[in-house]
Amino acid sequence: MADLARTISPSITPEPLIEGPDDDLTLTDSVFAPVWKPTAKGWWFLFMICLGGTGMLFSAIGWTVYKGIGVWGNNIPVAWAFGIINFVWWIGIGHAGTLISAILLLFQQKWRTSINRFSEAMTLFAVICAALYPVVHTGRPWFAAYWLFPYPSTLGIWPQFRSPLTWDVFAVSTYFTTSLLFWYLGLLPDLAALRDRSTGKWSQRLYGIFSLGWRGAGRHWRDYMSAYTLLAGVATPLVVSVHTIVSFDFATAQLPGWHTTIFPPYFVAGAVFSGFAMVVTLIVPAREFLGLKNVITLRHLEAMNKVILATGWIVAYGYAVEIFNDWYSGSRYELGHLHEKMLGPFAPFFWMQMFCNVVVPQIFWKRSLRRSLLVMWIASIFVNIGMWLERFNIIVISLHRDFIPGSWAAYAPTIIDVSLFVGTICFFGMNFLLFLRFVPSVAANEVKELAHEMRHTHV
Amino acid sequence: MSKRAPTPPITGPGSEQWRTTEERDNPKAFENAVAAEFPPGAAELDGSSRREFMQLIGGSLALAGVTQLAGCKDPPQHVLPYNVKPTDVTPGRPLHYATALTYGGVANGVIVTAWEGRPTKIEGNPDHPVAKGKTPTVAQADILSLYDTDRAHEIKHRGAGVGWVTFCKTIRTHVETLKGDGGAKLAFLAEASGSPLLASMQKRLQTEFPKARWYGHSSFSMDEAYEGAKLAFGRPLETQLDLTKAKVVVTLDADILGGWPQWLAQQRQWAERRAPGVTMNRLYVAETQMTCTGMMADHRVRSRASDIARIARALHAAVAGGTGDAGDAKANAWVKALAKDLLGAGGEAVVIVGPRQPAAVHAMAHAINATVKSQAVSYTAPILPSYEPLTALAEELKGGRVDTLVVTAWNPSYSAPADLGLGKLLAKVPNAIYLGTHEDETAHDVAWFVPRAHELESWGDARSIDGTVTIQQPLITPLYHGICVPELWSALLGEGGVGGYQLLRSSYAHLDEIGFQIRLQKGLIEGSALAKESPTLQTASVTGAVDKLAAAPSGIEVNIVPDYKLLDGRYANNVWLQELPDPVTKLTWDNALLLSPATATKLGLARNDLAEVKLAGQAITASVLPSPGHADDSVTITLGYGRNLGTETNARGAGTDVAPLRTAGRWFAAGATITKAGKGEKLAITQEHWAQEGRPIALELNNRPSFKRLPIVEEGHKGHGETEHDEDLKTVHEQQGPVESMYQPHIYPGFKWAMAIDLNKCTGCNACVIACVAENNIPVVGKEQVRKSREMHWIRLDVYFSGDENDPSSVQPQPMMCVHCEKAPCEYVCPVNATVHSDEGLNEMIYNRCIGTRYCSNNCPYKVRRFNFLDYHPNVQNVARMGMNPDVTVRSRGVMEKCTYCVQRIERARIDARVAGREIADGEFTSACAQVCPSKAITFGSLHDKTSEVSRAQDDPRAYDVLHELGTRPRTVHLARVKNKNPEINNG
């Protein structure tokens, strides 16, 4: 497999992946600088906003558990709404991390090194946000929290293994565990470096505990490399499996708009699409404020925009197939669904989704736009919105008008629904800010390794 | 809210009780102390949901009870279990008692189920010649009214509590003083009732007070009908209908299929004659607002209520061979074809006029029925006695000529026409005594208020519509120390201590004890139906009345009708009925101004707007709800709402009171002006979409001599014997038969529970919905939750309109509940196995395993599952819990629920059969919905028995699976509706 960046635009001579002085000390200093620097005012400002939002999130969860799902806007027939939309959206966002870390590692894509730590953290936090929803959205979360797992109950009652929701439990928990291990394993050499360079007593001890006795010995490096590659191997199928299984929640149901075989690939592509968009959304400001421009270069960003463009087309193909199948099926219910989607009360959401996910990414055909920080940042936000709308449309439009017209009803979210959604964004942001503050957001060891390679092979 | 949290009753018959010495010595101060300690806190409740309000009220009630106990400890009392069990009580086994419920003074024979003394369910008395096991819709909800905590529990004299003994003594002493002039200053205001007991008591009162006057008031007055008979036959008569003998049925503003509770028997008879084929009846309907009857009509004309007389006149003329103008071209064509049909039916025809229409219209119907020699009509003496009208009473009261007025009619201050100003007049009567269930509008106006016992707490009797005397026996000691009408009247006779039983028993003194008990057990006196009379038609009198009929003035008409649910408002505090969707509009918790879409456009009104209706100087403001099929230039609004003054907390804030527009007791009047008055709150309507969108959901066929079940039509080929005209039949066939599957069908060796719903008989009357609520402890969720589409009714009664929105060609009600799919999409998606299939084909819900993912609902193509989004059974000590069915789990919040096919009834039948060592027989038991259905549209049973009623129904050529193509193999099938069109009428 050739260099992805080169495959996409072979005529362009690749720019260096690291700019400026590339000796080990400078690189380490620039990567570790955000950790050593005193906490910036801007960080505190953002952190306090996110902390407030997190408070709101847990208040909303508390209120939901105390009062019941009735505080949300859900009803019959729209029994799933914001809870599941947000779940799928966050899981999708999580995909970029695993893809960048694992698949690109296996494909030996060198450009991944500067952004893999960053995107892995994003994955982890996104999966945490996602995992909140399936339990909170149930009517009786105090039972759901453990009845969904196949624990050896003395009553001999097991979960229902035919239900995609049971598959979800396995898929998401496996994904979370693997992502956590992968991220943490990659952190080890850097945590050790932080420990060694720390001057404070407590930071030395804490970094010492978390670096698990890493000394940088040759054997450590050998075991580390093989474990890291192995985990990458384990994580790779998960990139495909998680969102495939999430898509089964819909595809195995018989609701028009859900019951379709295109969903697994289309969901995976959509997940990568939204995940990369989220990386761009986060990394553009982060590299600016953290002074990481020399290691996260425009070449990285451009490569990601190309991935967004490519996956955007897969998603667009998915939309086209979906629409075609609705028509080709000849089923009055599928056609009815198509009608509701394109012309029904929620039709503006569908057309907005089309604009965000199909039209907006096309700007990345032009190199100058692909390399414009402002353009890519705004475009990535559009994609994030578009992908959220996609899940809204799949879930709410399909449910609110299905087979029997007498059962149709409208849907409107409540303030609690919105609080939960905004709350998870803030919770995610808070985790991310803590990550940026206490852990090097770029893998220093890998960047240094890359710099060495570049010196010797002129990559 | 000025009312403090209700405390348990402190006074009652035969006792002057007190809880503490403080209370005895200074009852007012004690009451204030209680009120101060637990202030009602009404102010901060503004804007809160009804449910929260109820929870708070319930909570404060419980608190009040708790502290009362703490403040005054009774000496310890010991309860003991049954040592020697009473012979007729087995714990866990209910008993059934026959009794009667009355509507407008007419009895409905019912059987009430009671568990260790707690009544829980009302069903029709199968031995009763009118009920035949069925009840009207409202009767099903009466059980909730029994346990209503807002009911009055204290005799009050100008607001102060009085004991029963004091009341009896005071009243008797006072009445003695009236005897001097023969009771000339004594008057009674009663609701006309067909009760022989009340009639005999009235006679005794008349002997003692010969000059006392008797006035009548009821929203269900049959006066115009009696007056009409008087015109036609010279004397008031009761028209007895037998629709099984009618092939052509014409209703003029008569909602015989679900309205006016007395029409119960007509619904059954009509349905019996509704089987498709040559004997099928044909229903012609002329009406204003769309009704249950209108939905079932083969031919319907819509007309202002005041123009019904014109149609009747044209029909009257046409039957006699002449012509008349019925209004527009459609109505004229309708009348012409109808007259021919009526005359050609060979006596199997009948014209029915609703009680709201003027006497002359009734007289014309009698004349037409006589001309066509209708076999479906017979006449008896009137069931209801005639009293002097309310207007006469108002005159007397104005003149101050009444000193003591005994009011037993329901809430006249609210229900009487507003222009009489009866409330103010009542307040001036020195000794007005009102017997009422609640401290309602009237209770505030009268000097004496006496709590009335619920009919399930009372002894009494009444005649049912055919005259059969139906006995009323109490199921429970009055919960709130209420008394019944005979007991109040007997107090006036100085018999204050005599109970209802003695009064009833002594009026049947001619029966020996065994004889009385047999009748009590049966709930009726057999052979007591009134004798048929054969009166002679007085043609000249009819013609004279017809000629006197003035044409209705043009302009917009206000049309007032009794509500399907609250009737005249007496059920306003019944939350089951408040939340029951209207059969046609699906409106809950409100009444609204119904009008045709065309009229709405003309007036610039849309749904949820507020409109001011002005008529003869009076005005009301109500929400607007355009309703397809409504007559143009007319607005309909129902009685019974806008009850904000009484202690009925659930009635508050629901709808608009129409009394100001009901001058002189009229039901309809033209000449109203309607203007938009802003935007109102969103109405809580349970159905949002009214078109089938071309989907084969509720199917309709044209009648033909016979129906055959044809082999499944292959694509591109026509089935055997099909012609081009059989398109409708083809649609049915496409929804029948097996669907392809890769798997072997599952074998059910034993029972195969199943249901069939005949859309040809279902009138959408809602009886099944409310029966299901009563049987299965289904919670009430409140207006706000209904607005959010979270109503919990297991049966969803969908209504589909087709054709023009102003004059729909077809309106189809379709009950939709869990169809118990053999291949149920809900089952495989549940992650915790909370919904599974039984070996008898039931799709079962395991409530305590459910975690509430709601995935099952998403995957249910019928969307018949209901979710407890909140705690809909707030955890308060509530007397209403006594009315719950102990056989059915009360579901907690976060749990999914749906129709269970009344699995508790299946299991009870199984236990009984096993104990008796036999199999469950077909028809031995049935589901609550099938049990109540007045038209027998629902059949339930097992398919393993090929001869069972449900097997035969499922083999009907019209039987089809809704959403057949999905392969869910539903156990509940629907039978396509058949329209019996008159070929001579093209439109409508």
Give the pLDDT score at B910.
94
The alpha-carbon gap from A136 to the nearest alpha carbon of chain B, in Å, equals 10
Contact B852 A165 (CB under 8 A): no
Q: Which CATH number belongs to the domain containing residue B584 in this structure? A: 2.40.40.20
Contact check, Cβ <8 Å, B697/A405: yes
- Residues B660 and B784 both lie in one domain: no
What integer is the mean pLDDT of A240-267? 90
Nearest residue, CB atoms, A147 vs list B828, B832, B896 = B832
For range B164-191, the mean pLDDT = 87
- Tell me which of A246-260, A331-345, B656-670 is least confident: B656-670
B830 shares its domain with B918: yes
ipTM: 0.89
Facing A148 at nearest CB: one of B697, B789, B831: B831
Q: What is the mean pLDDT of chain B?
A: 86
Distance from CA of B686 to the nearest CA of A (A): 9
> CA nearest B380: which of B226, B261, B216?
B226
Specify whether B646 is located in the same domain as B731: no
Identify all chain A residues contacting B585, using CB atoms and an 8 Å cutoff: none
What DSSP string describes A333-377? HHHHHHHHHHHSTTHHHHHHHHIIIIIGGGGGGSHHHHT-HHHHH
Q: Which of A67, A80, A255 sits opposite B870 (nearest CB)?
A: A67
Q: For position B294, which CATH number holds?
A: 3.40.228.10
**CB contact at 8 A, A49 and A426:** yes
Q: How far is A144 from chain B (nearest CA, A)?
A: 6
B947: how many CB neighbours lie within 10 A of its CB?
7
Distance (Å, whole) CA A45 – CA B178? 87
For residues B852-856, give the mean pLDDT.
93
What pLDDT, on the 0 to 100 scale, is given for residue B710? 61
Q: Can you read off the two tokens belonging to residue B960?
A: 């089809």
Q: What is the pLDDT of residue B289?
A: 93
What is the pLDDT averaged over residues B853-866? 94
> Closest chain B residue to A72 measured between Cα atoms?
B869
Across the interface, of A141, A406, A410, the residue whose CB is closest to B800 is A406
**What's the gap in Å between the CA of B299 and the closest CA on chain A?**
24
Please list every residue in chain B whose beta carbon sits closer than 8 Å to the beta carbon of residue A169.
831
d(CA A13, CA B669): 89
B665 and B734 together in one domain: no
- State how far the Cα of B416 lies from the Cα of B425, in Å rounded to an integer: 12
Instruction: Tell me the chain A residues in contact with residue B865 when contact means C-beta distances shorter than 8 Å.
Output: 76
Residues B665 and B705 in one domain: no
Q: What's residue B13's pLDDT? A: 44
Burial B574-584 (b: 16+ CB within 10 A, else e): bbbbbbbbbbb
Q: Please check the confidence at residue B849 and state whether its pLDDT lies above 50.
A: yes
**pLDDT tens digits for B354-385?**
999 999 999 999 999 999 999 999 999 988 88
Q: What is the pLDDT of residue A54?
A: 93
**CB–CB contact B870 A404 (8 Å):** no
**Segment B252-279, tens digit of pLDDT:** 999 999 877 778 899 999 999 999 988 8
Residues 144-203 of B with CB under 8 A from A: none
Which residues in chain B touch residue A77, judged by CB atoms under 8 angstroms apart? 789, 857-858, 863
pLDDT tens for residues B447-457?
899 999 999 99
The CA-atom distances, in angstroms, between B138 and each of A170, B147, B263, B768 are 51, 15, 13, 11
B459 assigned to some structural domain: no
Residues of B in contact with A67 (CB under 8 A): 870
Are residue B810 and residue B678 in the same domain, yes or no?
A: no
pLDDT tens digits for range A41-94: 888 999 999 999 999 999 999 999 999 999 999 999 999 999 999 999 998 888
**B680 shares its domain with B734:** no
Q: What is d(CA B938, CA B816) in angstroms, rounded to the nearest whole number? A: 11
Per-residue pLDDT band at B29 (split at 50, 70, 90): low
For residues A203 and B356, give the distance between their C-alpha atoms in angstroms, rounded to a whole number.
Answer: 89
Domain-embedded: residue B340: yes
Q: Is residue B727 part of a domain?
A: yes
With contacts defined as CB-CB under 8 Å, which chain A residues touch B962? 404
Q: What is the pLDDT of residues B701-746, one digit of tens each?
A: 888 877 776 655 444 444 444 444 577 788 888 888 888 888 888 8
Q: Does B493 reside within a domain? A: no
- Indicate yes or no: CB of A332 within 8 angstroms of CB of B850: no
Residue in A69, A160, A404 nearest the CB of B862: A404
Nearest Cα of chain A lies from the Cα of B795 at a distance, in angstroms, of 11
Q: Which two tokens stand for residue A182?
A: 């992968």
H-only helix segments in B692-820: 727-734, 767-775, 783-787
- B674: tokens are 């309607």
Domain boundaries, chain A: 22-148+158-457
- Which residue of chain B comes nearest to A399, CA vs CA? B858
Helix (H) or strand (E) segment spanning residue A225: helix A218-251
Residue B543 has pLDDT above 70, yes or no: yes
Higher pLDDT, A19 or A114: A114
User: Considering only residues 781 to 810 of chain B, which have any Cβ-Cβ distance to chain A shorter than 8 Å?
Assistant: 785, 788-790, 796, 798-800
Q: pLDDT category, B693, cuts 50, 70, 90? A: confident
CATH number of the domain encompassing residue B780: 3.30.70.20
Is B211 a member of any domain? no
The model's pTM: 0.87
pLDDT at B41: 38
- What distance lies between CA B318 and its chain's CA centroid? 36
Residue B684 has pLDDT above 70, yes or no: yes
Q: Comparing B603 with B494, which gets the higher pLDDT? A: B603
User: Chain A partners of B893 at a C-beta cutoff of 8 Å?
Assistant: 68, 70, 139-140
Task: Examine residue B636 and state whether it is found in any structural domain, yes or no.
Answer: yes
Residue B705 is predicted with a pLDDT of 78
Which residue out of A67, A76, A329, A400 would a mutagenesis test of the B interface target, given it has the greatest number of B Cβ atoms within 10 Å? A76
- The per-residue pLDDT for B67 is 42
Residue A59, min C-alpha distance to chain B (Å): 18
User: Does residue B259 sit in the same domain as residue B343?
Assistant: yes
Same domain? For B833 and B967 the reply is: yes
Alpha carbon distance B678, B675 (integer Å): 9
Answer whether residue B503 is part of any domain. no
More confident site: B317 or B47: B317
Mean pLDDT score of chain A, rounded to an integer? 86
Chain A within 8 Å of B896 (Cβ-Cβ)?
A: yes
Q: What is the pLDDT of residue A14?
A: 58
The predicted structure's pLDDT at residue B328: 85
pLDDT at B785 over 50: yes
**B760 in the same domain as B681:** no
- B966-983 mean pLDDT: 91
> Are B800 and A405 in contact (CB < 8 Å)?
yes
Residue B577 pLDDT exceeds 80: yes
Question: In this complex, is the C-beta atom of B134 within 8 Å of any C-beta atom belonging to chain A?
Answer: no
Tens of pLDDT along B589-635?
999 999 999 999 999 999 999 999 998 888 999 999 999 999 999 99
**Mean per-residue pLDDT, A102-120:** 75
pLDDT at res. B675: 92
pLDDT of residue A10: 41
Give the count of domains, chain B. Answer: 4
User: Using CA of residue A314, residue A320, residue A325, residue A331, what is the dihedral sign?
Assistant: positive
Boundary (domain end) residue, out of B71, B86, B121: B71
Q: What is the domain range of residue B36?
A: 11-71
**Per-residue DSSP letter, B592:** -
- For residue B58, name the pLDDT band (cuts at 50, 70, 90): low
In chain B, the residue whose alpha carbon lies closest to the alpha carbon of A137 is B853
**In a shared domain, residues B659 and B790:** no
CB pairs under 8 A between A and B: 177
Cis? peptide before A77, omega within 30° of 0: yes
pLDDT tens by residue, B311-322: 999 999 998 888
Chain A residues closer than 8 Å to B800 by CB: 405-406
At residue B888, the 3 state secondary structure works out as coil
Q: Summarize the confidence of residues B156-172 as an average pLDDT.
A: 87
Interface of B with A in 624-683 (CB under 8 A): none
Confidence of residue B30 (pLDDT cuts 50, 70, 90): low
Least confident interval from B54-58, B425-429, B572-576, B621-625:
B54-58
Residues B840 and B798 in one domain: yes
